[in-house]
């Protein structure tokens, strides 16, 4: 399933809300938690992480991965947590409104 415009940032921010993670772990977690519905490609993920880092939403430091390889670990900043809260509220309103539209019988014909 293709990601909707604006979805990638909130997925990444949500993923990093629990703990710092490296990029591959972010992509893996999103794929697992969505039942393979969303697969984040490296070509989209790393530019998004770098953009969020420039905006001050995440910060990064080098560390060792589970396989003992050097990896860049990203974590939310306070600004990133605030952005996540704001985007989560927006998505909740969107999902609620779409749910009401989809549950409605539809407009009556004239």
Backbone angles phi, psi at 73, to 5 degrees: -100, 130
Give the span between the Cα atoms of 31 and 28, in whole angstroms.
5
Q: Which fold has domain 7-100?
A: Arc Repressor Mutant, subunit A (1.10.10)
Q: Over 90: is that where the pLDDT of 73 sits?
A: yes
**Which residue ranges make up each domain of the chain?**
7-100
Residue identified by tokens 């984040």 is 40
| Residue 104 contacts residue 96 (beta carbons within 8 Å) | no
Per-residue model confidence as pLDDT tens digits over 93-104: 999 999 999 999
pTM of the predicted structure, to 2 decimals: 0.85
Rg (CA), the chain: 17
Tokens for 95, please give them: 């999902």
Query: What value does the mean pLDDT of the chain take?
Result: 92
Query: What dihedral angle (degrees, nearest 10) is formed by the CA atoms of 46, 58, 10, 48?
Result: -20
């Amino acid at each position: 399933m293709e990601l909707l415009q604006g979805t990638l940032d909130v997925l990444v921010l949500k993923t990093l809300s629990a703990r710092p993670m490296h990029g591959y772990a972010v992509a893996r977690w999103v794929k697992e938690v969505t039942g393979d519905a969303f697969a984040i490609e490296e070509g989209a993920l790393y530019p998004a992480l770098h953009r969020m880092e420039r905006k001050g939403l995440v910060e990064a430091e080098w560390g060792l991965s589970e396989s003992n390889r050097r990896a860049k670990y990203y974590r939310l900043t306070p600004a990133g947590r605030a952005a996540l809260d704001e985007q989560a509220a927006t998505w909740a309103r969107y999902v609620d409104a779409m749910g009401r539209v989809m549950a409605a019988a539809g407009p009556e014909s004239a």
